[in-house]
């Protein structure tokens, strides 16, 4: 019956459950005097206009300069810490100091955005020899999580400014950086992660399996890479932002990174709840993709997100051919059955 497919097509046009996850989810009907006024309004009363102007002056001429000073304080802190670490001969002691240096660094950076963070179930913090996975809304997710725990980052080596940042971070912890030629070799990356986990002195690895920023209303498909490593427990984390004070979502197709960071630094505050979940391990005979779905479902339930099976890569690319073929196969099976 083609009616069902017609209905699904019309529903996708009227209320597309995928692409709306890549835009701001600020759904307040009226301005609450705190968030940014993105909509164009015909007119404001004099009283509301005065309140908006006072808020503008406070955010841009009082809070913003203070936050800029805090940002430079963070830079001086990490540079001074690197000089200090060079005089420590033992690697074990250097990593111990590096853990606390990172905590202080990220707490200063969290003040740059006036982050108000509430941590829940802290007994389930990720431990050494494990992998921590979380839903992804913003580049500052790393800062939010790293104010309470130390993590090892994983990613591709870069040149220029980001290359300097990576080298600087590597002075305080053992991070996993790989060459561009290795990035597409999934087995090579998995092997590097296994080697990192085997060393009990290394910090837990922090990964955002969605691979892109989602607007904090849903959790999209998790890439299965880190879930194939059965040796390490997975510590799920749900990050839930309160956009009444400032929308933390980074719409990379609309704002450059520097522009986005300025928007965050000129908001009133970034209010967020972080929920630590109990560790999870892959079960016997369980496929890595099924394990990834199980972890994703736990994060979605805890954070109150919509659990979607769609790939976040649709943000920048068309659906893969195998997905279209799978839908065609289902349609064929339905016709054959009828």
Q: What is the 3-state secondary structure (H, E, C) of the chain?
A: CHHHHHHHHHHHHHCCCCHHHHCCCCCCCCCCCCCCCCCCCCCCCHHHHHHHHHHHHHHHHHHHHHHHHHHHHHHHHHHHHHHHHCCCCCHHHHHHHHHHHHHHHHHHHHHHCCEEEEEECHHHCCCCCCEEEECCCCCCHHHHHHCCCCCECEEECCCHHHHHHHHHHCCCCCCEEECHHHHCCHHHHHHHHHHHHHCCCCCCEEECCCCCCCCCCEECCCCCHHHHCCCCCEEEEEEEEECCCCCCCCCCCCCCHHHHHHHHHCCCCEEEEEEECCCECCCCCCCHHHHHHHHHHHHHHHHCCEECCCCHHHHCCCCCHHHHHHHHHHHHHHHHHC
Does residue 1 lie in a domain region? no
C-alpha to C-alpha distance for 287 and 293, rounded to whole angstroms = 10
Burial class (CB in 10 A: 0-12, 13-18, 19+), 64: middle
Does residue 22 lie in a domain region? no
Tell me how far CA of residue 119 lies from CA of 20, 32, 63, 125, in angstroms: 28, 26, 25, 10
Residues forming beta bridges with residue 270, ordered by sequence position: 115
pLDDT value of position 225: 84
Residue 321 pLDDT exceeds 80: no
pLDDT value of position 127: 93
Residue 220 pLDDT exceeds 60: yes
Does residue 111 lie in a domain region? yes
Identify the residue with better confidence: 121 or 329.
121
Residue 42 pLDDT exceeds 60: no
Residue 40 pLDDT exceeds 60: no
Does residue 287 lie in a domain region? yes
Report the domain count for the chain.
Answer: 1
**Using one digit for the tens of pLDDT, what is the confidence trace for 252-295?**
888 888 899 999 999 999 999 999 999 999 998 899 999 999 99
CA-nearest of 108, 118, 140, 103 to 263 is 140
Mean pLDDT for the stretch of residues 153-162? 77
Identify the residue with better confidence: 106 or 225.
106
Mean pLDDT for the stretch of residues 139-150? 95
Of 5-9, 42-46, 97-101, where does the model show the most confidence? 97-101
Does residue 166 lie in a domain region? yes
Does residue 325 lie in a domain region? no
CA-nearest of 260, 276, 253 to 113 is 260
Of 44-48, 215-219, 294-298, where does the model show the most confidence? 294-298
Mean pLDDT for the stretch of residues 219-237? 91
Identify the residue with better confidence: 171 or 205.
205
Residues forming beta bridges with residue 275, ordered by sequence position: 120, 238
pLDDT value of position 34: 66
pLDDT value of position 243: 85
Identify the residue with better confidence: 52 or 266.
266
pLDDT value of position 36: 63
The separation between the first and the last C-alpha atoms of the chain, rounded to the nearest angstrom, is 9
> In which order are the strands placed within the sheet that holds 205-207?
115-120, 270-276, 234-242, 131-134, 205-207
Does residue 76 lie in a domain region? yes
Pairing of strands 234-242, 176-178: unpaired
**Using one digit for the tens of pLDDT, what is the confidence trace for 10-32?**
665 556 667 777 777 665 555 65
Residue 164 pLDDT exceeds 90: no
pLDDT value of position 48: 78
Residue 219 pLDDT exceeds 70: yes
Residue 179 pLDDT exceeds 80: no
pLDDT value of position 247: 87
Percentage of residues in the chain having pLDDT higher than 90: 45
CA-nearest of 147, 145, 153 to 241 is 145
What average pLDDT is seen over the chain?
A: 85
pLDDT value of position 208: 93
Residue 106 pLDDT exceeds 80: yes
| Domain hosting residue 185, numbered range | 28-313
Under the banding of pLDDT at 50, 70 and 90, the label for residue 309 is: confident
pLDDT value of position 115: 95
Under the banding of pLDDT at 50, 70 and 90, the label for residue 63 is: very high
Does residue 291 lie in a domain region? yes
């Amino acid at each position: 019956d083609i009616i069902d497919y017609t209905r699904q097509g019309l529903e996708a046009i009227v209320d597309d459950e995928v692409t709306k996850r890549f835009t701001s989810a600020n759904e307040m009907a009226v301005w609450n005097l705190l968030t940014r006024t993105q909509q164009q309004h015909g007119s404001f009363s004099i009283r509301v206009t005065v309140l908006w102007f006072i808020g503008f002056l406070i955010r841009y001429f009082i809070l913003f300069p203070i936050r800029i000073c805090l940002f430079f304080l963070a830079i001086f802190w990490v540079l001074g810490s690197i000089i200090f670490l060079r005089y420590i001969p033992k690697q074990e002691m250097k990593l111990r100091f590096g853990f606390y240096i990172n905590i202080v660094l990220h707490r200063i950076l969290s003040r740059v955005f006036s982050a108000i963070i509430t941590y829940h179930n802290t007994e389930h913090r990720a431990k050494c020899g494990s992998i921590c996975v979380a839903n992804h809304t913003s580049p500052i997710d790393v800062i939010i999580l790293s104010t309470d725990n130390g993590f090892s980052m994983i990613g591709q080596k870069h040149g220029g400014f980001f290359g300097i940042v990576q080298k600087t971070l590597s002075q305080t912890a053992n991070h996993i950086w790989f060459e561009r030629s290795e990035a597409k070799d999934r087995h090579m990356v998995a092997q590097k992660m296994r080697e990192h986990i085997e060393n009990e002195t290394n910090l837990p690895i922090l990964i955002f399996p969605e691979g892109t920023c989602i607007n904090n209303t849903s959790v999209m498909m998790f890439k299965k890479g880190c879930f194939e490593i059965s040796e390490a427990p997975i510590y799920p984390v749900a990050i839930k932002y309160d956009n009444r004070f400032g929308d933390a979502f980074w719409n990379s197709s609309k704002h450059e990174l520097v522009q986005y960071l300025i928007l965050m630094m000129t908001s009133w505050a970034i209010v967020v709840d972080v929920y630590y979940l109990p560790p999870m391990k892959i079960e016997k005979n369980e496929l890595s993709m099924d394990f990834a779905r199980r972890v994703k479902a736990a994060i979605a339930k805890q954070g109150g997100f919509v659990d979607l099976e769609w790939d976040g890569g649709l943000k920048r690319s068309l659906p893969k051919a195998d997905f279209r073929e799978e839908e065609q196969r289902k349609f064929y099976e339905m016709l054959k059955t009828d």
